[in-house]
Amino acid sequence: EEHLVESGGGLVHPGGSLRLSCVASGFDFYIYSMNWVRQAPGKGLEWVSFISGGGGTIYHADSVKGRFTISRDNAKNSLFLQMNSLKDEDTAVYYCARDQSESMDVWGQGTTVTVSS
Amino acid sequence: QSVLTQPPSVSAAPGQRVTISCSGSSSNVGYNYVSWYRQVPGTAPKLLVYANNKRPSGIPDRISGSKSGTTATLDITGLQTGDEADYYCATWDSSLNVELFGGGTKLTVL
């Protein structure tokens, strides 16, 4: 069965950094593009970043461009999100999600990031 | 405010039918595939429909999607109390090179 497990969330001060990880199992990770999606408390879903299977194509939402970097290590079946210069408005549950046929068909359980002084 | 517009809430009685719309523009809904997700608060989203009208395995045929021009629609018939959740549409925007989510629709089964 296909699984995604996120980790790395926590409490960080404004201006700080955090690195999220997502480990995949049960499928050929390197074949699939991957996404990060977040959800602020009481709000809707917001797409954050996309990376192709080989890592050659990357997109970021304008709200995180220049501060967040998506990457992957296919040898370790792992997806990452390096988050720098964190702001209060980055507080959210962060999900990794597999990209399939222009949709997101497998989701992790999420990891919570809280940015607060 | 989301680029993709969904009604904030819809409601219907058990056994009835409900439709949720997702309105966009020619660079997103009008050009690319639309997908739909269900999210029970406190849990991860679940894919219901992909490529406008295809269902992943395990999704019952009382759930269906369609698209006409710049508006996509999710249709749920034979409503059950277990359908109560938030529903989101999503699609790629080819002008902005970003994935867009609708603002979400809360479905209440009365």
pLDDT in tens, A39-90: 999 999 999 999 999 999 999 999 999 999 999 999 999 999 999 999 999 9
C-alpha distance from residue A73 to each of A25, A30, A77, B1, B97 (Å): 13, 9, 6, 35, 24
Report the residue from B56, B92, B99 with minimal CB separation from A105.
B56
Is A47 within 8 Å of chain B by CB? yes
C-alpha distance from residue B17 to each of B64, B67, B96 (Å): 11, 18, 35
For residue B2, the model assigns a pLDDT of: 77
For residue A100, the model assigns a pLDDT of: 93
List the single residue in A with minimal CA-CA distance to B36.
A103
Residue with tokens 């989203």: B45
Model confidence over B49-91: pLDDT tens digits?
A: 999 999 999 999 999 999 999 999 999 999 999 999 999 999 9
CB contact under 8 A, A47 and B32: no
**Cα B110 from Cα B100, distance rounded (Å):** 30
Which of B82, B81, B107 lies closest to B18 in space, CA to CA? B107
Q: Amino acid letter at A107?
A: W
Give 3-state DSSP helix, strand, coil % of chain B, rounded to 5. 5, 50, 45
For residue B59, the model assigns a pLDDT of: 97
Around Cβ A3, how many Cβ atoms within 10 Å?
Answer: 12
Is A50 within 8 Å of chain B by CB? yes
Coil, helix or strand at residue A14: coil
**B-interface mutation test, from A57, A60, A103, A111, most B Cβ less than 10 A away:** A103
Evaluate whether B23 touches B71 at the Cβ level (below 8 Å).
yes
CB contact under 8 A, A45 and B104: yes
**B-interface mutation test, from A43, A100, A102, most B Cβ less than 10 A away:** A102
Is B63 within 8 Å of chain A by CB? no
Chain A residues touching B91 at Cβ < 8 A: 102
For residue B109, the model assigns a pLDDT of: 95
Percentage of the residues of chain A whose pLDDT score is greater than 70: 100
Q: Residue A84 contacts by C-beta under 8 Å, 6 or more apart in sequence?
A: A17, A67, A68, A69
